[in-house]
Amino acid sequence: MNSQLTSAYPNRTIALVVPFPLGHPSDFAARRLAPRLAELLHQSVTVENWPGASGTTGAARMKHKPPDGYALMIHGVNGFAIAPHVMKVGYDPIRDFAAVIKLHSAPLVLVVNPALPVNTVQELIAYVKSNPGKVNGASFGTATNAHLALVLFNQITGLNIQHTEFVGGTRIAADLIAGKFQLMFDFPNVVVQHI
């Protein structure tokens, strides 16, 4: 980029794109980042949520944005390291995007419906083994890190907890509490107020 272009940037609003619904850790990070970025760049920064298909819908839309710095995307491992290997995504994560910075990381926690008579992981494993088909796990979608955490948990424990894909956002915690499914791996910021 030449110095003339560099000195003119930014001269209009910058979109901070989150390919996930409200309440997702990437959304939380974007909403904390946007005001500071606007302050540093002396330009408006808006947060735009483009959710769908484990973040791949927004990434596919982002691919068609000009690479001019006016549309920046906060994405995670789902859309770039997992989804392209298990589904058709409409973009090449290496060819179509350039990583700028590691912004945040979010661990997953295993949470269960409070009606489940378990208090430890060992009790959960024993319960699932003695009640086959009665425990279902949910995630924001196929090929998300939460879905793969459930797959890995099944492999490690020898269990067969069925996966159910739920609509993303903070509603998933309410659905867990309501008993629509019995467990999930999720981000702490989504479920911590319910624990």
Confidence of residue 1 (pLDDT cuts 50, 70, 90): very low
At 9 the pLDDT is 93
Find out whether the peptide bond into 10 is cis, omega within 30 degrees of 0: yes
Distance CA 107, CA 37 (A): 25
Percent of the chain with pLDDT over 70: 93
- pLDDT at residue 104, as a whole number: 76
| pLDDT value for 194 | 75
Integer CA distances (angstroms), 162 to 50, 155, 169, in order:
28, 12, 21
Q: Same domain for 72 and 119?
A: no
Q: What is the pLDDT of residue 3?
A: 46
Residue 149 has pLDDT above 50, yes or no: yes
129 lies in the same domain as 164: yes
For residue 142, pLDDT over 90 is answered with no
- Which whole number is the average pLDDT over 87-116? 90
Asked if residue 104 belongs to a domain, the reply is no
Q: What does the DSSP 8-state code read for residue 33?
A: H
Domain hosting 57: range is 3-86
Mean pLDDT of 131-158: 91
Does residue 154 have a pLDDT over 60? yes
- In angstroms, the CA 17 to CA 30 distance is 8
Residues 72 and 124 in one domain: no
Q: What mean pLDDT is predicted for residues 53-61?
A: 90
Number of domains forming the structure of the chain: 2
Say if 93 falls within a structural domain: no
- CATH of residue 59's domain is 3.40.190.150
Residues 29 and 62 in one domain: yes
pLDDT 10s digits, 20-39? 888 788 898 899 999 999 99
Higher pLDDT, 13 or 164: 13
In-domain check, residue 28: yes
Burial 88-101 (b: 16+ CB within 10 A, else e): ebebebeeebeeee
Q: Are residues 81 and 135 in the same domain?
A: no
Q: Is residue 97 part of a domain?
A: no
Residue range 79-90, pLDDT digits in tens = 888 888 888 999
**Same domain for 72 and 117:** no
Residue 132 has pLDDT above 80, yes or no: yes
Q: Is residue 99 part of a domain?
A: no
